Amino acid sequence: MSVTAATSPAVGSFHLCRRSPGPATIPRFRMTVRSTAVYLTPLVTKLHKDCATPLPVLRHVADAMAADMRAGLAAEGGSDLKMILSYVDSLPTGSEKGLFYALDLGGTNFRVLRVQLGGKEERVIATEFDQVSIPKDLMFGTSEELFDFIASGLAKFAQKEGNKFHLPVGTKREIGFTFSFPVKQTSVDSGILIKWTKGFSVSGTAGRDVVACLMEAMERLGLDMRVSALVNDTVGTLAGARYWDDAVMVAVILGTGTNACYVERVDAIPKLQDHVSSSGTTIISTEWGAFSNGLPLTEFDRDMDAASINPGEQIFEKTIAGMYLGEIVRRVLLKMAEEDALFGESIPEKLATPFALGTPDLCAMQQDTSNDLQDVGSILYKAAGVESNLSARKIVVEVCDTIVKRGGRLAGAGIVGILQKMEEDSKGLIFGKKTVVAMDGGLYENYPQYRRYLREAVTELLGDDIAKNVVIEHSKDGSGIGAALLAAANSKYRDYDL
């Protein structure tokens, strides 16, 4: 889509108009535009300027990410980035054998999965999974009720184990538990829930070991299984991707929220005092959503943050992740409606409603290639209750693109920051050969423009030659099988000949 500055008198004219509701004393400008191009209203121009991510900004973000990682590794609380130890020291190698289960609780659904692993030659012999949605009332109930429900889902699934799956005599079924809520990990198979997020408000779990909660529920049911790994979705994704490719060093989730983890050398973690890792490496969950240094932010970001349940926190996440991009765009459009009468005289209630516009709406609008932007019009009407003409639709698409471009490019800069930090510590081992970043999450998976902007930023920062060595690979639902593989890698029976 072409973009033309509206400052030239040849391309647009302003009408003074007055509208209600709103302070009647403030004159408002409305712009009449021709239909062939997007004209930059002062608000669009300002948005472009405030959201700009030229190379120096990207470089600053990458450098600051690397510096914050170091500070978070040096001391507990040393930086915005918590740099949480996952206690996962052994990643899958491909030689894992046996039957393993995974349980993935990350949002409104939980998934159960079983896999029969056959070692280097046979790899995944058989796999099956099931998905169960969590009844709304359990999201607000007690810890026992929630974990009883999960354990009974697991029990039902385990009962259906067919003859493709084999458990050696004298061993228990082992589970990798992916639990994507803030946890203070205490060992590879235990961790304390700090707080519920994502709409969960279950009483009695915060402050407790979630593995113990699950084990107690299994005991109440007489289900004799053992949790051998507790991980979050980034660590699960890293493990799932590493099983197939030794070059995987980093995993990133770009979904509702965002996080990244990577393989770190134990001797590069000063805050770690008495941790022994036979591999000499361990997985660090950066918790990079909390990064905030030098981000190009707008009044819309600041207002959204102030109205959020966690003001001042998770600023990187609020700039790049799926939960927020639609809301930022809605706030921009609301201001344009109020000040430029973008959608005519009145402002529908829906447009003024937080989170009325979702990131999937932005994505759908950006895929509209029709001349009259019909889809953009109907999505705007459905989601925000606004009637729009073609010029307004073009401005809307331009706003979506500006916010998504900033998000994708900053995510790319964050990835480069992690790789840069790793390269500085191990000259040539990251940029001198193929290095894979495993990626998962609904935003990355579904939003082609976001993916493209992310990749472009990586290439701009690294230059063509080095960028060729950095492969960003979509590892769809890798975290489920990754958790099962970590159960295998951390199995109690690891040294048995199964």
Is 425 designated active site?
A: no
Identity at 308, one-letter amino acid code:
S
Q: Judge whether 301 counts as a catalytic residue.
A: no
Question: What mask of x and - would describe binding to ligand ADP in positions 7 to 26, judged by CB under 6 A?
Answer: --------------------
Cβ proximity to ligand ADP, 305 vs 317, nearer residue: 317
C-beta of 49 vs 136, nearer to ligand ADP: 136
Could you say which DSSP state residue 413 is in? H
Strand partners, 436: 248, 471
What is the DSSP-derived secondary structure letter of residue 206?
T
Phi-psi region of 83 (alpha: psi -120 to 50; beta: other; left: phi over 0): left
Q: From CA 242, how far away is CA 251, in angstroms rounded?
A: 10
Residue 141 interacts with ligand ADP (CB under 6 A): yes or no: no
- Show contacts with ligand ADP in window 431-450 (CB under 6 A): 441-443, 446-447
CA-wise closest residue to 123 among 263, 235, 245: 245
Burial of residue 288 (CB within 10 Å: 0-12, 13-18, 19+) is buried
| Interaction of residue 289 with Mg ion, rule CB under 5 A | no
Strand 183-187 and strand 173-179: the pairing is unpaired
| Distance separating alpha carbons of residues 425 and 365, to the nearest angstrom | 43
Give the number of other Cβ atoms within 10 Å of residue 278's Cβ. 7
Which residues make Cβ contacts (< 8 Å) with residue 428, sequence separation at least 6?
none
- Least separation in angstroms between CB 3 and Mg ion: 35
Q: Is 480 a binder of ligand ADP (CB under 6 A)?
A: no
Between 255 and 296, name the residue whose CB sits nearer to ligand ADP.
Answer: 255
The structure tokens listed for 406 are: 């900033």
d(CA 187, CA 435) in angstroms, rounded, equals 28
User: How many residues contact ligand ADP, by CB under 6 A?
Assistant: 15
Of the residues 120, 164, 198, 476, only one is catalytic, namely 198
Pick from 119, 141, 182, 360: which binds ligand ADP (CB under 6 A)?
360
Cβ nearer to Mg ion, comparing 14 with 129: 129
Minimum Å gap between C-beta 474 and Mg ion is 13
Q: What does the DSSP assignment read for 458-474?
A: HHHHHHHHHHTTEEEEE
Binding to ligand ADP, residues 298-327 (CB under 6 A): 322-323
CB of 388 to ligand ADP, least distance (A): 20
The residue number with the shortest CB distance to ligand ADP is 322
Residue with smaller CB distance to Mg ion, 314 or 388: 314
User: Three-class SS of residue 286?
Assistant: coil
| Contact string (CB under 5 A) for Mg ion, positions 226-265, x = contact | -----------------------------x----------
Say which of 68, 104, 209, 233 is annotated catalytic. 233
Contact pick of 98, 191, 257, 296 for ligand ADP (by CB under 6 A): 257
Smallest distance, Å, CB 130 to ligand ADP? 17
Distance (Å, rounded) from C-alpha 19 to C-alpha 341?
8
Which residue is associated with the tokens 């349940």?
309
Rule CB under 5 A: choose which of 106, 407, 478, 482 binds Mg ion.
106
Just list the catalytic residues. Answer: 198, 233
Residues that bind Mg ion (CB under 5 A): 106, 255
